[in-house]
A and B are shown apart, each in its own frame.
Chain A
Amino acid sequence: MYRYDEFDHSFVNQRTEQFKDQVRRRIAGELTEDEFKPLRLMNGLYLQLHAYMLRVAIPYGTLNSRQMRKLAHIARTYDRSYGHFTTRQNIQFNWPKLEDTPAILEELAEVEMHAIQTSGNCIRNVTADHFAGAAADEIADPRPYAEILRQWSSLHPEFSFLPRKFKIAITGAPHDRAAVQVHDIGLQLTRNEAGEIGFVVFVGGGLGRTPMVGRKVRDFLPEEDILAYSEAILRVYNQYGRRDNKYKARIKILVHETGLEELKKDIEAEFEKIRYDVLRLPNEEVRRIEAYFAPPALEVLADTDPEFEERKASDPAFAQFAKNNLNPHRVPGHSSVTLSMKPIGGIPGDASDVQMDIIADLAKTYGHDEIRISHEQNVILPHVAIRDLPAIFDVLVEHNMAEGNAGLITDIIACPGMDYCALATARSIPVAQEISERFGKAERQAEIGELKIKISGCINACGHHHVGHIGILGLDKKGEEFYQVTLGGSADENTSVGQIVGRGFSSDKVVDAIETLVDTYIDLRQDKDETFLEAYRRVGEDPFKEALYGVG
């Protein structure tokens, strides 16, 4: 994986020293809160409902066991023994003290981690496919490009005061697992007819108050142009993006208001000006960065293993895990394993310090020291031999990470909601927990098949509800929690924004409503292979509406 070079080390150390001094000056009274707040936000430190919250960056969701152990140590030493994996592949600590944050950042810097670009109107941490570097369907590992973009964007003087935050996602496979079309810039690796690597480029996707699917601006952008083209997009945005109204400041609004063709012209014109300049990416540089992400040397093994097959036959929980939580690996006899951070009735994305240590141990023992965090708030061991799966599973069972529910109805994305978040209008987590309990039986989940439920506690949509097959948005209706339901959203290569199905539901009715939707789907699907989303796309919303609200 990527190792800091001298520049990175000194950059992160400088930032840590700088923030340490800023905290000292704040406590000594040399800085007011108004002066200090933007500085703490630049270092990932928020003030939430109960306490401060520190968001630590996990660039493109990749980390090793030493880093995971450090996160466990921070949770134990400075927080309340747990952390929360977010939909941006980061981790949040919910209870740090202001006075401890310099020490936490120092500890993070020791393992090449930080909290930069996790907040504020800058280019945020680049996200990527969580099976990057391992997936059988991958064209190329997207992380070297994510890292190149990170180096370009960290502290970019022109882009540290953008009209609004700016998010970039990149995926290396035709099947998009990084939700690239709901990012400000979405990049999808592809090959042209000559077999050269390049990118399909999407611009102007985003969720929040005004959800929009990104528009394609390039079918093929050559590899060497990735920085110049991104810079051109950012420059056009920086120049024309609205600064007068925070709700209209994202690039998606610019795409919408200016029109795609016009904007494309501006981007291409800017690109032509800078394309042959310093931002042109030399081949050697890409290869140099790529070397950091060189895959572990994996022995080619038999496609399957007798002990693995035997266990599947004798243990239904293991069989379910093997069916849902394994992703095909490019090296025969291997797999990428999803460790479920969604135990039945649990809090989506929370991990205790003990679990973090166990994940680190497993990665070290069986996973070539590689760990990924998915935007779906699970943990991945990307390179595991199939013959080791029974042993891994036993450890996961012991530590409550063995639910075989990846991609199923209980694998719910939920933002922190009003249990933690100062901006929330309703709680998200208890709704997720109730759905998980309601549908938690293995047979019931299996019967339903693939179904992605995503829940946000306010219009900011950190829980990606717009792109849930079923989306749930928590609102405040006259002081009561109230939930609006959307159907038909999706964040893969066929991205769509879900449509509101009708009037919302109170907190004690919303899970019944979800059950009605699920039962309606089971009744009308053509066969077991037709997923909820496929069925919805075939029949439209009417049967679901009717089931929820009756006719007329």
Chain B
Amino acid sequence: MNVITANRLLDGEVVWLGDNGHWSETLQGAKVLESAEDVAEHMAIAKQAIADRFVVEAYEMAVKHEDGKLVPVRYREVIRAAGPTILPGLGKQAKPVAV
């Protein structure tokens, strides 16, 4: 299970590719990609978004389901999806919509 992630060009915000080419600010809005073809097709959408100057540095990352939620497999991505572990008041974790 994979999703595609990137940073928004203008403000650097971490985003994930959702449905219909929409980029979500939360991991829960990401479109889960099961097959290699699925990933390839969505990477093409991401490349276009890079060309359109919406995002930069897109890549795929592994996720899993835990308690009905999407969770990154790598700890690095867990931190990236939430914010610095040392400052819970900053980053996505501090926003009203939970990650």
Which residues of A does B touch, CB under 8 Å?
26-27, 29, 33, 47, 49-52, 80, 95-99, 347, 418-420, 424, 427, 429-430, 433, 476, 479-481
Whether a CB of chain A sits under 8 angstroms from the CB of B29 is: no
In angstroms, Cα B12 to Cα A50, docked, is: 7
Which B residues, 1 to 52, have Cβ-Cβ distances below 8 Å to chain A? 7, 9-14, 50
Q: Is the interface of B mostly helix, strand, loop or mixed?
A: loop
Q: Is the CB of A430 within 8 A of B12?
A: no
Query: What mask results when residues 39 to 82 of chain B are scored 1 for a CB within 8 Å of chain A, else 0?
Result: 00000000000100100110000000000000001111001100
Task: With A29-B53, A418-B79, A419-B87 given, name 11 new contacts (CB 8 A).
Answer: A27-B10, A47-B12, A49-B14, A51-B13, A80-B90, A96-B12, A98-B12, A427-B79, A427-B86, A433-B86, A476-B75
Return A434 CB to nearest CB of chain B, in Å: 11
Q: Is the CB of B79 within 8 A of A419?
A: yes
Query: Do A50 and B9 form a contact, CB below 8 Å, given A419-B86, A479-B73, A479-B75?
Result: no
Question: Would you mind naming 16 contact pairs between A and B with Cβ atoms under 8 Å apart?
Answer: A27-B53, A33-B50, A47-B56, A50-B14, A50-B80, A95-B12, A96-B12, A98-B10, A98-B12, A419-B84, A419-B85, A419-B86, A419-B87, A424-B76, A433-B86, A479-B75
Q: Is the CB of B10 within 8 A of A49?
A: no
Query: Do A97 and B12 form a contact, CB below 8 Å, given A50-B80, A50-B83, A424-B76?
Result: yes
Q: Is the CB of A50 within 8 A of B10?
A: no
The 8 Å CB contact of B12, one of A52, A347, A427, A476, is A52
Which residues of B does A touch, CB under 8 Å?
7, 9-14, 50, 53, 56-57, 73-76, 79-80, 83-87, 90-91
Closest to A432 in B: B86
Closest to A28 in B: B53
Instruction: Please give, as numbers and ranges, the residues of chain A lying within 8 Å of B76 by CB-CB distance.
Output: 49, 418, 424
The 8 Å CB contact of B7, one of A47, A347, A433, is A47
Instruction: Please give, as numbers and ranges, the residues of chain B lying within 8 Å of A33 by CB-CB distance.
Output: 9, 50, 56-57
Instruction: Please give, as numbers and ranges, the residues of chain A lying within 8 Å of B13 by CB-CB distance.
Output: 51
Closest to A31 in B: B53
In angstroms, Cα B90 to Cα A210, docked, is: 35
Closest to B73 in A: A479
The 8 Å CB contact of B79, one of A27, A49, A51, A476, is A49
Return A320 CB to nearest CB of chain B, in Å: 26
Q: Is the CB of B12 within 8 A of A481?
A: no
Query: Do A98 and B85 form a contact, CB below 8 Å, given A33-B56, A49-B80?
Result: no
Instruction: Please give, as numbers and ranges, the residues of chain A lying within 8 Å of B75 by CB-CB distance.
Output: 418, 476, 479-481
Instruction: Please give, as numbers and ranges, the residues of chain B lying within 8 Å of A49 by CB-CB distance.
Output: 14, 76, 79-80
Q: Is the CB of B84 within 8 A of A27?
A: no
Closest to B57 in A: A47
Instruction: Please give, as numbers and ranges, the residues of chain A lying within 8 Å of B9 by CB-CB distance.
Output: 26-27, 33, 98
Q: Is the CB of B85 within 8 A of A430?
A: yes
Instruction: Please give, as numbers and ranges, the residues of chain B lying within 8 Å of A99 by CB-CB distance.
Output: 10-11
Closest to A428 in B: B86
